[in-house]
Amino acid sequence: MIVKNIFIICIFFFLLLVPLSSFAQNKLAKATLAGGCFWCMEHPFEKLEGVIDVVSGYTGGHKESPNYKEVSAGGTGHLEAIQILYDPSKISYSELLDVFWRQINPTDPGGQFVDRGDQYTTAIFYHSEEQRVSAQKSIEELEESGTFKKPIVTKIRKASKFYKAEDYHQDYHKKNPIRYKYYRNNSGRDQYLKKIWKNNIKTKSRKNHYKNYKKLGEQELSQKLTPLQYEVTQKNGTERPFDNEYWNNKTDGIYVDVVSGEPLFSSLDKYDSGTGWPSFIKPLEPDHITEVEDKSLFMKRTEVRSKYADSHLGHVFPDGPEPTGLRFCINSAALKFIPKEDLEKEGYSGYKKLFE
């Protein structure tokens, strides 16, 4: 009887834990973007795979609970914006930014198309340091692409309280399709975007320039990895400090996942932390890094893993130098170093410009 009761209790807790673990594996994220009239910003994102919801609203200002009349008149400090709820396992933040640039004129400091005033200017409101770094990188890449002849003036701002707009503004393109199309056509937005992007069919994030990164099976891992690499990446091991391949490497190049090859860090962001492990102030590709709470060794730390191979890389600590204040402490055994002169040969030519 006692054994039976124990069995029932175990089953009960198992059923409770399953949905929780499933939820943890499918953690959703938010992106907040301002691109002028929020009617025109909802539709392009709603149709993307991995986007759960898009809400129109107001953010970035000083007035509590503003309404449309107040924001559109100016003076509240708020911008019309959209907030996107998305699944990072299906669509990355950088991919959302690629779509964002194709909806706006990022060189206009006075508004967007027929809508003028600060309340209609463009901005990226970041929710994490990773989003901030990704946004800055995205702007740099856009400037280097030569798509726009004028400087990019879209601001990167820390996310603040987001106020949902009135119900009649939500999904306006669905509720009032004729009025929406009339407004959009007369705003000049579509005509401008068509002119700008006519010779650039698709913007790709860097990850799409290369192979499809993936996690390998046990047999492939055992054949590809050394015992130490396997212990570190698959068993969350830690190599010895000052006795590993890259702790004192000062050569220019990038560091990729030893399993999948996905780009992770750059030598430009590497510094001597005095710990005996390779240390970086930020990732090369924030979307290729995932963070996991680690409560092992009787302490609470933040583990970092590669997104596609799911390799254990190391940990991130808030004791690094400026400008990020972060220290990504990484095991050499989880990395493969690609010198700058080998980037093109190894299939990473898109990163050559970092070292020019």
Q: Which of 40, 84, 123, 329 is catalytic?
A: 329
Residues shown for the chain:
356
Q: Supply the pLDDT for residue 19.
A: 43
Q: Supply the pLDDT for residue 259.
A: 94
Q: How many domains does the chain have?
A: 2
Q: Is 10 a residue of the active site?
A: no
Write the Ramachandran bin of 119: left for phi over 0, alpha for psi from -120 to 50, otherwise beta: alpha
Q: Are residues 191 and 249 in the same domain?
A: no
Using the structure block, give the residue that is written with the tokens 């996107």.
84
Residue pair 259/225 in contact (Cβ under 8 Å)? The answer is: yes
Tens-digit pLDDT profile for residues 179-194: 888 888 889 998 999 8
H helical segments located in the chain: 2-25, 39-46, 68-73, 93-101, 129-145, 172-175, 177-187, 189-197, 218-224, 227-235
Q: Enter the pTM of the model.
A: 0.56
Q: Is 329 a residue of the active site?
A: yes
Tens-digit pLDDT profile for residues 94-136: 999 999 999 999 999 999 999 999 999 999 999 999 999 999 9
Residue 97: inside a domain: yes
Residue pair 138/206 in contact (Cβ under 8 Å)? The answer is: no
Residue 208: inside a domain: no
Domain end residue (candidates: 203, 233, 254): 203
Q: Are residues 104 and 180 in the same domain?
A: yes
Q: Supply the pLDDT for residue 299.
A: 79
Q: Which of 37, 139, 309, 330 is catalytic?
A: 37
Q: Supply the pLDDT for residue 212.
A: 64
Residue 14: inside a domain: no
Beta pairing partners, 115: 112
Q: Are residues 261 and 336 in the same domain?
A: yes
Q: Are residues 132 and 43 in the same domain?
A: yes
Q: What amino acid is encoded at 22 in this protein?
A: S
**CATH number of the domain bearing residue 332:** 2.170.150.20
Dihedral angle of Cα 116, 117, 122, 123, to the nearest 10 degrees:
-170
Residue 13: inside a domain: no
Residue 8: inside a domain: no
Tens-digit pLDDT profile for residues 77-89: 999 999 999 998 8
Using the structure block, give the residue that is written with the tokens 């054949």.
223
Q: Are residues 72 and 102 in the same domain?
A: yes
Q: Sorting pLDDT into bands at 50, 70 and 90, what band is 200? A: low
Tens-digit pLDDT profile for residues 235-279: 999 999 999 999 999 999 999 999 999 999 999 999 999 999 999
Query: Structure tokens of 107?
Result: 């060189």
Residue 325: inside a domain: yes
Q: Are residues 33 and 162 in the same domain?
A: yes
Q: Are residues 34 and 134 in the same domain?
A: yes
Domain housing 88: 27-203
